[in-house]
Structures are given as structure tokens and as C-alpha cells.
Amino acid sequence: MPAGVPMLALLLAAAALAPDYEQLIAYDTVQVAPGVTAFMPRRTDTAIVSGNSIAVFGDDGVLVVDSGHFPEATRRMIAQIRKVTKKPVRWLVNTYWHSDHNHGNRLYQQAFPGMAIIGTEATRKNFDQPFLKDEMKKMNEQAEQVKALLAGGKDRAGKPLSDARKAYFSEALHELEIVGPDFTTSAGVPPELTFSDRLRLHLGGRDAEVLFLGRGNTAGDTLVWLPDQKILMTGDLVVYPAPFAFGSFFSEWGPTLRKAIALKPATIVPGHGPVMHDTSYLELVAEAADEVSAKVKALAQQGLSLDEARAKLDVDDIREKFARGDEMLRAKFDGLFLGPGVPRAYREAKEGPLQDEN
């Protein structure tokens, strides 16, 4: 990238890269069950991601679970919903506050006036995060960080970048350049209807339960449960192929997941990744959270610093259950789960239950 070229100029110039953007926003329409359609991003190896979005059709209206990240993809989802039914989207549940699940909120609000956006109070409060208020500014900052990593040839821990990781970071920088023009056309809008533990929605001919079973991936993780069909939508409490641990609550994550497992779902739609038909992966994520929490706590109680604890932490066995011998899956586990998660687990060991997601 030429030195001194303003990022804004690159973002505006990227408008001509429509084919690349088309690939980035592409999704598959998956019929999960009669009346339940999931819009699932086709690419899961990208740096800028979008969460799965689900439409549940009732006789009186439609429930949407998460509105996606890329505005053009959200517009296409809305168009597909309108082809299926003349009934409006009456409810939009945000499973949590990260923008890859709610950047399309404004588009749904514009398309369906009177629609209720639903989430936990914790999720609503987190919409005040600076990142959500100016996502493009944060993306520009991330672009500079990525350029610095590539220029230095090392990751943040000072380890040389492998060719695979160099390729990943280069692709990440390219994605940051091409998303800008469309991102300004929508924005996350906070939930206006909040709940504590359980909210039952009557869609007409079917009911949906909006649940908060406890903290895990965030302080306000929301699940949606269709009891008649035993379909569970988890948000980022469950992410495949490696869990996201940004701002997570490690000592609580496993117990919360086990409450979800106790529902005995027949079908699970995670926040990212394919539809699942058993709870084995949920059990693996719970096991990983418990193991990291317990081992980091033991190291902290020995008086080790965070850096010392991180260096001594041995989770090779659980890492390989996720990675299955794949280098990039190991990198995802380390970067998305251990990297942000170990400091959270260490703080829990020292401070007790955390009250922030920083």
C-alpha cells in the first residue's frame, strides 16, 4: 500500500471492487425447519465476519434473530423475507452487542416501522461502546495495526508471521478497504425492549422463547428457543470452529452452556458456523472454558503474573480437539479464544466475578 495515501481515499476507491465485496457478503439460505430460515455467511475464514441471521415465520408476523453485519446482505435478507410472507417483521432479537450481529438493525427498523428490537439490559447498555458509535473509525485504526504487523513481519507477541498468517493479514487489510462504502448505510440500534430471564413471543401458530441463561461470551448473551421444534439459536455463546472470547466470563461460560444443553435441543444454530444436530460441540466449548478458567486460576494462585501464567498454561489437549491438526485452526483457537480469554480468566482469579467486558 503506498505510504501516505489516506485511508478514506482507499475506502472510496474500493467502491469499484464490487466482485470482492460480493464474495465477502455472500450467504447461503438454509431451511432449518418448516418456517425457520437461516441466512448463513458463505465464508467463515474472513477477518471481517457477519453472524448468522435467522427468520422465524408465524401466522401474525416474523421474528428475526440478529440482523447481520453487511448492509447489502441485510437488504437482500429483508427482500427474501418479503417474498415468503406479507406479514411484517414484528420482533428483532439481538443476541448480544457486537456489531457483526446488529449492524443491520437500522435497515430492519426502516423496512418495518413499529418493529420491536429485543435484548438484555446488559446488551442495551453496551450499545454505548465507542466502537459501535464510530465503527469506521475503529476499522481504520485496525487497518493501521494490520499494516504495522505486516511491515514488521511479527505478531503482537513478537513471533515471526508464518506465510499463512501473512496471507491472512493481507486479506484482512483488503477486506477493511472494501467494506467502507456500504457500512455507512446502516448502523446498530440498541434494543428498546429488554428482559431479565425469559420472554415468550406469540408469533401466531407458534411461540418463541427469548432466554438469558447466564453470562458467558458476554454479560448479556441471549438465546432464542423454539420449544415445539426444539431449535436453539445461541448467538456467540457458541461459535464454530473456534469460540470467540472477547470480553467473556470464563468461570460462568461452562455453566451457562450446560443450561442450554439441558434444553436438549435437536437443532442448534450457532452465532457463526453451520447448523448442528447434537450438543457435542457445545460440550467441547464448555469443557474448554472450564479448563482455561481452572488452570489459569491455579497459576494465578501460585503468585504468577499474567505473562508468567500465559507462558506456563498448558492446554494442548483441548486446543487439538478444536484444531484437529490444522495450523490455521490452532491460530484461530489461540487468537480468538486464548488470546483475549486468558487475561479475562486471570482477572477473574484475582478479582472475582467481573463487571466489565474490557
Q: Is the pLDDT of residue 33 over 70?
A: yes
pLDDT one-digit tens code per residue, 58-74: 999 999 999 999 999 99
The domain total for the chain is 3
Cβ-Cβ contacts under 8 Å for 3 (sequence gap 6 or more): none
Mean pLDDT of 277-288: 98
Least reliable range by pLDDT among 23-32, 112-121, 142-151, 198-207? 142-151
Same domain, 108 and 47: yes
User: Does residue 7 sit within a domain?
Assistant: no
Same domain, 161 and 306: no
Given 144, 178, 212, the domain boundary residue is: 178
Which pLDDT belongs to residue 161?
85
Residue recorded with cell 478479582: 351
**DSSP code per residue over 258-324:** HHHHTT--SEEEEEES--BSSSHHHHHHHHHHHHHHHHHHHHHHTT--HHHHHHH---HHHHHHHHT
Same domain, 21 and 84: yes
Same domain, 212 and 301: no
Query: How many CA atoms, within 13 angstroms, populate the side-chain half-sphere of residue 284?
Result: 19
Mean pLDDT of 270-290: 98
Same domain, 121 and 56: yes
Q: What is the CATH number of the domain that holds 101?
A: 3.60.15.10
Same domain, 166 and 107: no
Same domain, 149 and 93: no
pLDDT one-digit tens code per residue, 80-101: 999 999 999 999 999 999 999 9
Which pLDDT belongs to residue 277?
98
Which pLDDT belongs to residue 2?
30
Same domain, 87 and 207: yes
pLDDT category at 173 given cuts 50, 70, 90 is confident
Range of the domain at 153: 133-178
Given 219, 247, 279, the domain boundary residue is: 279
Same domain, 141 and 275: no
Given 246, 279, 312, the domain boundary residue is: 279
pLDDT category at 19 given cuts 50, 70, 90 is low
User: Does residue 5 sit within a domain?
Assistant: no
Instruction: Express the helix, strand and coil content of the chain in percent, nearest 5 each.
Output: 45, 20, 35
DSSP state of 69: S
Which pLDDT belongs to residue 133?
66
**DSSP code per residue over 165-189:** HHHHHHHHHHHHHHHHHHHTT----
